[in-house]
Copies of this chain bind each other. A is one copy, B any other.
Amino acid sequence: MNIKDVARRAGLPAKTIRYYEEIGLIRPLRQANGYRSFRDSDLHKLSFIGRARSLGFSIEDCRTLLALYEDKGRASADVKALAGTHLERISAKIAELEAMRRTLSGLVDACAGDERPDCPILTGLGGPGCA
């Protein structure tokens, strides 16, 4: 399988797959002409990485998850701990964004949005005690 095929099947850009090889997440074989040759196992790993990435796991998390995935003697507690930590990061980020949204939403609602210069948004940013 050449890179474009595996890219299509894994749902990842070819550039990204080359990058994943560069950082050692996958190790595809090479054909005589220098082209990368992807096995089913490579495709499988790439799909795994793609799903983990879409859940927001970092590349280093993906590396660990892949290692656990391939370690048949792993303890599910290790996986759960990693995922749990990530879940907390996600929740913290959501809380942060929601705080932003509340503040900003209040400012936007207070702004007339017409041709006049008076603007509570700018006043809020300029004055103290905004965020």
On A, residues with C-beta under 8 Å from B are 44, 47-48, 51-52, 54-56, 65, 68-69, 71-77, 79-81, 83-84, 86-87, 90-91, 93-94, 97-98, 100-101, 103-105, 107-108, 111-119, 121-122, 124-126, 128, 130-131
The interface residues of chain B lying within 8 Å CB-to-CB of A55 are: 100, 103-104, 125, 130-131
Task: With CB as the reference atom, state the residue of chain B lying closest to A123.
Answer: B69
Task: With CB as the reference atom, state the residue of chain B lying closest to A108.
Answer: B83
Compute how far the CA of A37 lies from the CA of B93 in the bound complex, rounded to whole angstroms.
37
23 A–B contact pairs at CB < 8 A?
A47-B126, A51-B124, A51-B125, A55-B104, A55-B131, A56-B104, A69-B125, A71-B117, A73-B117, A75-B116, A75-B117, A76-B111, A76-B115, A76-B119, A77-B113, A79-B119, A80-B112, A80-B121, A84-B108, A87-B105, A90-B104, A94-B97, A94-B98
Within the complex, what minimum Cβ distance (angstroms) separates A46 from chain B?
Answer: 12
- How many copies of this kind of chain does the complex include? 2
Are the C-beta atoms of A112 and B48 separated by less than 8 Å? no
List 14 additional A-B contacts (Cβ < 8 Å) besides A55-B100, A76-B113, A76-B115: A44-B126, A51-B131, A55-B104, A68-B119, A69-B125, A77-B113, A79-B122, A80-B108, A83-B108, A83-B111, A83-B121, A84-B108, A90-B97, A91-B101
